[in-house]
Structure 1
Amino acid sequence: MLKLQSKEFTAKTIEEALEQAKKEFEVQDSELSYKIKEEGTKGFIFGIGSKPYILEIYINENFLINKIREFLDEILTYFDEEIDANIKAFGKTIVIYLDGEGLGKLIGKHGRTLGALQHLIMIYVNRMTDTKIDIKLDIGEYRKKRRRKIEEIAEQAAKKVLRTHENLELATMFSFERKTVHEHIRKYFPELSTKSVGLEPYRKVIILENHKEYTK
Structure 2
Amino acid sequence: MTEENVDMRALLDEEGDIAADYLEELLDITDIDGDIEITVEADRAAVGIVADDGGDRRLKRLIGKQGDTLDAIQELTRLAVQQQTGERSRLMLDILGYRQQHRQEIAEIAHEAIDRVEESGEPVALKPMNPFERKVVHDVVAEAGLFSDSSGIGAARHVVISLPDEEVDDENDVLAESTQSEDSIDAVE
Tell me which interval the TM-score lies in, with the shorter structure as reference length.
0.5 to 0.7
Preserved CA contact (<8 Å) 2:78 2:88: no
Does 2:158 align with 1:204? yes
Preserved CA contact (<8 Å) 1:122 1:135: yes
Question: 5+ residue gaps in structure 2?
Answer: 1-5, 173-189
How far apart, in 2, do the equivalents of 1:151 and 1:89 lie? 21
Does 2:99 align with 1:139? no
For residue 119 of structure 1, report the CA deviation from its aligned partner: 2.0
2:122 maps to: 165
Aligned residues: 158
For residue 128 of structure 1, report the CA deviation from its aligned partner: 2.8
For residue 149 of structure 1, report the CA deviation from its aligned partner: 0.9
How far apart, in 2, do the equivalents of 1:150 and 1:163 lie? 21
- The structure where helix makes up a greater share of residues is 2
Q: Deviations over 1:179-203 (max 9, x none)?
A: 2212222223x3x420123456764
Q: Which amino acid aligns with 1:171?
A: P
Question: 5+ residue gaps in structure 1?
Answer: 4-58
Does 2:75 align with 1:119? yes
When residues 109 and 95 of structure 1 are mapped into structure 2, their CA distance, relative to the original with a 3 A threshold, is same
Instruction: Report SS of the residue matched to 1:128.
Output: helix
Larger CA deviation: 141-150 vs 164-173: 164-173
For residue 109 of structure 1, report the CA deviation from its aligned partner: 2.6
Q: Which amino acid aligns with 1:139?
A: I
How far apart, in 1, do the equivalents of 2:138 and 2:32 lie? 36
1:152 pairs, out of 80, 84, 108, with: 108
Q: Which amino acid aligns with 2:23?
A: L
Determine which structure has greater relative contact order: mean sequence separation of CA pairs < 8 Å that are 6+ residues apart, divided by chain length: 2
